Amino acid sequence: MSGRQLAPSRGASLLALAGAIGAWWAVAQIQVAGRPLVATPAATLGALPRAAPTLGRDLAATAARAGVGLAAGVAAGLVIGALAAVLVRRAPVIEGLLDLARSVPPVVILPVCLLAFGYNELARLATVAFGCVWTVSLAVMTAASSPWSARREMLHVAGATPLQALAWTQPWESFGVLVVGLRASASTAVVVAVVTEMIAGAERGLGGRVIAAQIDGDTEGLTLAVLAAGTLGYLINLGLRGLERWVRRLET
């Protein structure tokens, strides 16, 4: 009885969704200095038609900023991770150094990027890339330096060259580790993109929208911007999950 798995239920999902909306409404009842912390679900929905045109442009700007920074971070991470995998057996400290670099909050690198590039788009993109590169590097290093699988051992015994064995086994055998790193980096890219827009300013973006709503006391606009940022991160991870399922189908 204890090992029995409960089947997914649409009713349970709807109940959980209703509970989340109820919790949102309850938080909206909290007021500070005579103003609610967040707008109610009804007020937020009512403000959406008016805010939709500019919200869409800001959402697209943040998505583009996160996407470009993620792509740059992944590209650099692949190179750094591959080099680290080659060297880590001789110098195990490399893994610790990568972990240390990953532990540095990207937001504290933003001032360095601003000094290097000025208050422009390049500084924001460099900060986003910094937030992604080390997670990808560690994932690549872990995948590349892991022990040989049975399939690769068989290929080695059969006389396959290292390059042939690599081509026939990768990235399929390491796909799980790589996808985890990519999904974590994608979430980081969205967070860092929004934070850089809030701190360094940007003509377009959800971060600038949040600051403007805070200054104006626009609770509905602030709530919409927060929900838009969360939705962006969720959709990116949903897309990556779909990509993972597609690649696994190709593997089989």
Structure confidence by residue, pLDDT tens digits, 164-217: 555 555 555 556 667 778 888 999 999 999 999 998 888 889 999 999 988 888
In a domain, 14, yes or no: no
Looking at residue 1, its pLDDT comes to 45
pLDDT at 149 over 90: no
Average pLDDT, integer, range 207-233: 91
Expressed as residue numbers, the domain containing 54 is 47-251
Q: Is residue 33 part of a domain?
A: no
* CATH number of the domain encompassing residue 156: 1.10.3720.10
Mean pLDDT on 59-64: 94
Q: What angle do CA 135, 140, 142 make, to 5 degrees?
A: 95
Residue showing tokens 């057996």: 89
For residue 98, tell me if it sits in a domain: yes
Let me know if residue 2 belongs to a domain. no
User: Residue 205, by phi and psi: left (phi above 0), alpha (psi -120 to 50) or beta?
Assistant: left
Apex CA 22: angle with CA 19 and CA 26, to 5°? 135
Does the residue 169 lie in any domain? yes
Q: What percent of the chain has pLDDT over 90?
A: 42
Whether 31 is covered by a domain: the verdict is: no
Answer yes or no: is 19 within a domain.
no
The mean of the pLDDT values for the chain is 83
Q: What is the pLDDT of residues 67-111, one digit of tens each?
A: 999 999 999 998 898 888 888 878 889 888 999 999 999 989 999
**Structural domains counted in the chain:** 1
Nearest one of 105, 95, 111 to 130, comparing CA atoms: 105
C-alpha 246: how far from chain center: 20
Considering 130-134, 176-180, 237-241, the range whose residues carry the highest mean pLDDT is 130-134
Classify residue 143: in a domain, yes or no: yes
- In sequence order, which residues have a C-beta less than 8 Å from that of residue 169 and are 6 or more positions away? 149, 151, 152, 155
Residue type at position 145: S
pTM given for the model: 0.80
pLDDT above 70 covers a percentage of the chain that reads 81
Burial 183-199 (b: 16+ CB within 10 A, else e): bbbbbbbbbbbbbbbbb
